[in-house]
Amino acid sequence: MTSSSLRSLAGTLVAIAAVATLPWWVADQYQLHLAALIAVYWVLICGLNLVVGFSGQLSIGHVGLLAIGAYGFAILAGRYEWSPYLSLLACGAIGGLCGFLLGLPSLRLPGFYFAMATMAFALIVAELTLALGDFTGGGVGLAVPPFPEPFASPEGFYLLAAGAAILITWLTRNVAQSQWGRGLIAIRDNPVAAESVGVPVFRMKLLVFVVSGMSAGLAGALFGSLQSYITPDTFVFELGLFFFVCIIIGGRGSIYGPLFGTIVLTALPEMVAPLAKLGNLFYGLALLAVVLLVPEGIGRVFEVLSARLRPRKLEHGAVEPDARRLAELLREERSR
């Protein structure tokens, strides 16, 4: 094992330890709630990152899938009294199925059309949760059951969500570093060239979209349980925009950039009171600033800064010209 991979392993272990022990060093319950919320969001955003950040499909409507997961959990675990764990897995499956049904027609469409189709999907889900009142409780909403012990307490729930987040980070990291990740980036940067070298463009796009649907369904179930009561107003379109903005601000084609974006964008409005008043306006401003100034995302800024602070070692030592070979070459040239 080389020293750099040892160092990254140590870094990962320290990060996991920090995440796992967080309930014992946060200041109050509210911060713990915030941390659980970040973990739940990250489960969704991590899957969405494969779609937006890696394969370059601009889906702004994942809040629809989140809503499906949350309502699915509320109905399965609440009304039909399934085991919460089974319901959680079922919500992942439902999310994946909905992702498949949504992706099958819409992933064939070019950029703007696809974004509009996903946005329309989010609006349709919002409309149906209101309209199908017998099933979803309509505008009144539904109570969502908590998880049983040991995950019933805030600390327990946080650990459950963080575990799911770490698991999904590990999965997407494996995907991103394999041939698959390269293929997805190729699709993002130039679909025509990707297809010409044998990347099955549509199949890969659809597959990552289904994966993102599954992660959104899981996140939805966790989200519903965290909120403990959901109404159609919980899943406004702006929430979908927020997920999207987290990825763009963090930087496309990276995993830790969007993670950073999620943490900052979730925590910042809660910590800084004036920003909370601005609400979604703040996300719009942040998105505009990033798109105009650093289209590669905040992650890129850190890369540039670290390159500035730690300049690469330059090669010292004189280069000896091979005078004899040069003279021979020149002679050959002249005699030709």
Partner 1 sequence: MIVLVSGLAAGALFAATALAYNVMFSTSKVLSVTTGHIAMLGGVFGAYVITGLGLSPWLGLLAAILVGGLFGYLTDVIAIRRVVSRSDEHLWLLSTLALATIVQQGVGLWWGTEPRPFPRLIPQDFSAGLADQKYWLPIIATGLLAIGLELFYRRTLYGKLFVAMSEDTFAARARGIETDRIRALSYVIAGVIGAVAGFAAGQLTFAFFALGLTLTLNGFIALAVGGLGSNVGALVGGAALGLLNAFSANAIGGEYQNTVSVGLLMAVLLLKPEGLFGARNVRPV
Least separation in angstroms between CB 11 and partner 1: 31
Any bridge partners for residue 142, and if so which?
230
Positions 4 through 33 that interact with partner 1 (CB under 8 A) = none
User: Which string of x and - marks every residue 245-274 that binds partner 1 (by CB under 8 A)?
Assistant: ---x--------------------------
- Residue (26 or 236) nearer to partner 1, CB: 236
Positions 187 through 226 that interact with partner 1 (CB under 8 A) = 191-192
- Residue (58 or 264) nearer to partner 1, CB: 58
Q: Is residue 295 a contact residue for partner 1 (CB under 8 A)?
A: yes
Least separation in angstroms between CB 292 and partner 1: 6
The count of residues interacting with partner 1 (CB under 8 A) is 38
Q: Measuring CA to CA, which residue among 235, 248, 299, 294 is closest to residue 51?
A: 248
* H helix runs in the chain, sequence order: 3-20, 29-49, 62-73, 84-106, 111-131, 133-136, 154-177, 179-189, 191-196, 201-227, 237-250, 256-271, 273-278, 280-293, 298-309, 323-335
Positions 228 through 247 that interact with partner 1 (CB under 8 A) = 237-238, 241
Give the C-alpha separation, 229 to 145, whole Å.
9
Q: Is residue 153 a contact residue for partner 1 (CB under 8 A)?
A: no
Cβ(144)–Cβ(150) below 8 Å:
no
Q: Which segment (28-36, 164-172, 206-214, 286-294) binds partner 1 by CB under 8 A?
A: 286-294
Q: Is residue 156 a contact residue for partner 1 (CB under 8 A)?
A: no
- The residue within the footprint of partner 1, chosen from 89, 93, 116, 171 (CB under 8 A), is 116
Give φ, ψ of 40 to 5 degrees: -65, -45
Cβ(282)–Cβ(269) below 8 Å:
yes
Q: Name every residue whose Cβ is closer than 8 Å to that of residue 1 and which is 6 or more positions away in sequence.
A: 9
Give the C-alpha separation, 52 to 247, whole Å.
7
For 153, other C-beta atoms within 10 Å of its C-beta total 14
Any bridge partners for residue 229, and if so which?
143
Positions 88 through 107 that interact with partner 1 (CB under 8 A) = 105
| Residues forming the site for partner 1 (CB under 8 A) | 56, 58, 60, 105, 109, 111-113, 115-117, 119-121, 123-124, 127-128, 130-131, 191-192, 237-238, 241, 248, 278-281, 283-285, 287-288, 291-292, 295
